[in-house]
Homo-oligomer: A and B are copies of this chain.
Amino acid sequence: MDKVRAFEAEELLSLDTRYRANLINSLIGFKPVQLLGTKNLAGETNVAPFSQIVHLGANPALVGVVFRPETVARHTLENIRSTGWVTFNHIRKDFLNEAHLSSAKWEGSEFESCGLTEFYREGIEAPFVAEALVQSAGTPLSEYPIEENGTLLLVVRIEGIWVPESIVGDDGYLSIEKAGTLCSSGLDGYHSTSLLERLPYARPTLKK
């Protein structure tokens, strides 16, 4: 068997900052990665990739988004607070470079700077990413400051979903793989996927 590399308590604390960031970000497993679209009250738009997002519940439909400490500029969060809207857009291979680039610090809108196309739906005060096939929009409900490290969990309620009809299963399952949705690992790894299977609801009687 392959040799095991152990990182135990004291070593974990003494690792180089960038090394630890790569290590700990890899440890959670594969992560979702979506472009969040927002605009400010002056109408300037913003788009940025997020992986620190988590399903919170289906009824009502709630998503949690983790924001880093307020010591760095967080346009996405400020815009959501101002307008009450955010869009979620799944990233595909054919605009991966543009999507990744949108995480850089730009003057003006990341849409224009990175070659992404914004568009709007009536009543929603945030831009969608036209290149994305799986899109949703939500409004913020509340904020939970995480005292341990100064991050913030924002709870967002999904208000609308737009997806290719061809990926919607009879039971509501979305074949996001068929839509070309990517996942991420660590801070900068992007992956396509291959469905192994959908497994039936687990009951002891399933055991072979």
Quick check: is A42 within 8 A (CB to CB) of the other chain? Answer: no
Quick check: is A70 within 8 A (CB to CB) of the other chain? Answer: no
Do B174 and A26 touch across chains, with their CB atoms under 8 A apart? yes
Question: Given A23-B173, A55-B28, does the pair A191, B189 have CB atoms closer than 8 Å?
Answer: no
How many A residues, CB 8 Å from partner? 116
In the complex, what's the smallest C-beta–C-beta distance from A57 to chain B, in angstroms?
4
Q: Which residue of B28, B58, B174, B195 contacts A191 across the interface (Cβ within 8 Å)? A: B195
Chain B residues lying within 8 Å of A136, measured Cβ to Cβ, are: 27
Chain B residues lying within 8 Å of A185, measured Cβ to Cβ, are: 173-174, 176-177, 193, 195
Do B57 and A149 touch across chains, with their CB atoms under 8 A apart? yes
Do A153 and B160 touch across chains, with their CB atoms under 8 A apart? no
Complex: chain B residue closest to A196, CB-CB: B190
In the complex, what's the smallest C-beta–C-beta distance from A151 to chain B, in angstroms?
6
Do A186 and B173 touch across chains, with their CB atoms under 8 A apart? yes
Do A104 and B202 touch across chains, with their CB atoms under 8 A apart? yes
Chain B residues lying within 8 Å of A19, measured Cβ to Cβ, are: 171-172
Query: Which A residues are within 8 Å of any B CB, using their own CB?
Result: 2-9, 12-13, 15-34, 51-64, 66, 88, 90, 93, 96-97, 100-106, 113-114, 133-134, 136, 141-142, 144, 146-149, 151, 153, 155, 157-166, 168-169, 171-174, 176-177, 181-183, 185-204, 206-208
**A-B pairs with the 9 shortest C-beta distances?**
A29-B32, A22-B172, A30-B183, A26-B174, A19-B172, A191-B193, A24-B58, A23-B172, A104-B202
